[in-house]
Amino acid sequence: MKIILILIAVYIIYRLARRRRTPTEEFLRSSRPPGPAGARPPERDDRPITRPAPPKDREDMVYDEMCKSYIPKDGALTAQVGYSTYYFCSGMCRQQFLDTKNNPY
């Protein structure tokens, strides 16, 4: 019997503490600005948040294998090795890359 009374007391304390932390529906209704009679509250927007598309005039960026950086594609130097095209920021990076490809050790 004692356990039941303790559980009921704990539940009542829990409900009172929870009521104090969160505003009740009555409080929310009183804090809303008055609207036209019979007006419904605005519905929640459940659309996913998406990033805007990048501008079309943005130039493509390519990866420089030697510097480990990205550079604009139209200003990059290139090297064909097999079926792959590699892009570089400078002639020095390009030459270092070709030297390592030709002599890997």
pLDDT at residue 23 greater than cutoff 60: no
Is-contact 69 89, C-beta < 8 A?
Answer: yes
Q: How confident is the model at residue 41 (pLDDT cuts 50, 70, 90)?
A: low
Q: What residues pair up with 85 in beta bridges, in sequence order?
A: 80
**What is the pLDDT, as a whole number, of residue 24?**
52
**What is the pLDDT, as a whole number, of residue 21?**
57
pLDDT (average), residues 9-15: 85
**What is the pLDDT, as a whole number, of residue 42?**
61
The mean of the pLDDT values for the chain is: 75
Closest CA to 79 of 69, 64, 68: 64
pLDDT at residue 64 greater than cutoff 80: yes
Q: From CA 101, how far away is CA 32, in angstroms rounded? A: 70
Q: Where are the chain's structural domains? A: 2-30, 61-102
**What is the pLDDT, as a whole number, of residue 75?**
86
Question: Environment class of residue 90 by beta-carbon count within 10 Å: exposed (0-12), middle (13-18) or buried (19+)?
Answer: middle
Q: pTM for this one?
A: 0.44
Q: From CA 45, how far away is CA 77, in angstroms rounded? A: 48
